Amino acid sequence: GKVQRLSADFSCPGADDNFKQEHNIMDYKAPASGFHARPIPGRCPGKPAMNAGLTIHNDSDPVQEQVDVVVGQLYEGKLGIGFQHQSDTAVVIDIVVDDAHRLWKLGDEVKAINGNAIRKDGDFMRLYGSAKESLPVTFTVMRSKEVGRLLAEWHCFHPELALDSELVLLSGENAGVGGRRLTGDMRLFDWKNGHLVKTIPLEFTQGYIESDWPRGFLSGGSQTFFTAGSIEAWGNSEGALIAFCTPV
Pairing state between β 90-95 and 109-113: antiparallel
Is residue 165 within 8 Å of residue 58, measured between CB atoms? no
- Residues 173-191: pLDDT tens digits? 877 665 678 888 889 999 9
CB neighbours (10 Å) of residue 116?
Answer: 14
**Averaged pLDDT, 78-89:** 91
Q: pTM of the full predicted structure?
A: 0.59
Query: Over 80: is that where the pLDDT of 225 sits?
Result: yes
Is residue 143 within 8 Å of residue 38, measured between CB atoms? no
- The pLDDT value given to residue 73: 94
Grade residue 22 by pLDDT with cuts at 50, 70 and 90: very low
**Averaged pLDDT, 46-55:** 71
- Residues 124-171: pLDDT tens digits? 999 999 999 999 999 999 988 888 888 888 887 887 788 888 888 888
Burial of 88 (0-12, 13-18, 19+ CB in 10 A): middle
CB neighbours (10 Å) of residue 205?
Answer: 11
**Averaged pLDDT, 80-105:** 89
- The pLDDT value given to residue 12: 43
